[in-house]
Chains A and B, each alone.
Chain A
Amino acid sequence: NAGVMQNPRHLVRRRGQEARLRCSPVKGHSHVYWYRQLPEEGLKFMVYLQKENIIDESGMPKERFSAEFPKEGPSILRIQQVVRGDSAAYFCASSQQGPANYGYTFGSGTRLTVV
């Protein structure tokens, strides 16, 4: 039973390009969360999704960032027109039936570098 799979592990983009980060949750998990970790900072919540629905996007920047979790396939975090300040590690987590009882399982992250 594979854990949370994130790809790519490392992504380099030039300023103005688009970045697409993918996350496949643990099999059977229907709740997905995205977190961002800036250098020397703690992990900050970005967005919480269930299949085909965004439940809480209060941590998402208002512009350039979007997320989806389609009925089939992985969750995608999309960053348009990247800037240097978007350089960070982006972590995806999943849980079963909400994390209140089961906790979260995290992926290994995608490290985005904007040059």
Chain B
Amino acid sequence: KQEVTQIPAALSVPEGENLVLNCSFTDSAIYNLQWFRQDPGKGLTSLLLIQSSQREQTSGRLNASLDKSSGRSTLYIAASQPGDSATYLCAVHGGGGSEKLVFGKGTKLTVNP
């Protein structure tokens, strides 16, 4: 059974700081890994999708890395802004004998002005 863990559960930083969110998964036989953002009471916005054959993906101030063999991914946010405040969710597709997308519980990020 695939399990996804995100650390830390919550993070509070001052504006302008660079930060790293961590995601680990138990079964490395994944197809891909996706990072999402969820604002309170809202849906999920896809940030980055990393295929199992890729090592990293970048979009603007966001960079996500994937180390499939060790079951880890990181989301790096450069020069954080108050508008980045949200819950960030990591999800893996595949592994554990499943075709499902399995989510971590998320990291709640607060960026203070």
B32 within 8 A of A: yes
A65 within 8 A of B: no
Complex CA gap A109/B45 in Å reads 12
Tally of chain B residues near chain A (CB < 8 A): 24
A81 within 8 A of B: no
B44 and A106 contacting across the interface, CB-CB below 8 Å: yes
B102: which A residues are within 8 A, CB to CB?
A: 45
B74 within 8 A of A: no
Complex CA gap A42/B46 in Å reads 16
B62 within 8 A of A: no
B76: which A residues are within 8 A, CB to CB?
A: none
Complex CA gap A59/B100 in Å reads 10
B43 and A100 contacting across the interface, CB-CB below 8 Å: no
**Interface flags, A72-115, vs B, CB<8A=1, else 0:** 00000000000000000001010000111101111111010000
Indicate the size class of the contact surface on chain A.
20 to 34
CB distance from A93 to the nearest CB of B (A): 7
A93: which B residues are within 8 A, CB to CB?
A: 44, 101
A69 within 8 A of B: no
B89 and A100 contacting across the interface, CB-CB below 8 Å: no
Known: A41-B105, A42-B105. A101 touches B100 (CB 8 A): no
Chain A residues in the interface with B (C-beta under 8 A) = 6, 33, 35, 41-45, 48, 55-56, 58-59, 91, 93, 98-101, 103-109, 111
